[in-house]
Amino acid sequence: MNIELNGRARHDVRTIAEAVAAVTEAERGIAVALNGEVVPRSEWDRPLADGDTVEVLTATQGG
């Protein structure tokens, strides 16, 4: 299964939770967009599908 995670192709993650764990150890201050839509933390066990785009986001400095 091929997905795109934060702009990079991946084929070793099957759920959103695995995608998050693949890029960060942080548990707070994280949000996930699946194909542009927010996925609440309570639904992070959702399986991914081929071609999905996942964005894992966090706070950074900004005005």
Partner 1 sequence: MDKLQIADRTFGSRLILGTGGAANHAQLADAITASGTELVTVALRRVDPRAEGSIVDVIERCGVDVLPNTAGCFTAEQAVRTARLAREAFETDWVKLEVIGDEDSLLPEPVELLDAAETLVGDGFTVLPYTNDDPILARRLEEAGCAAVMPLAAPIGTGLGIRNPHNLALICEQAGVPVICDAGIGTASDAALAMELGCAAVLLATAVTRAADPALMAGAMRDAVRAGRAARLAGRIPKRRLARASTSFEGIAEL
Q: Following CA atoms 27, 34, 19, 61 in sequence, which dihedral angle do they give, to the nearest 10 degrees?
A: -50
Which residues of the shown chain bind partner 1 in the complex (CB under 8 A)? 6-7, 23-24, 26, 28-33, 36-38, 40-41, 55-63
Strand, coil or helix: 13:
coil
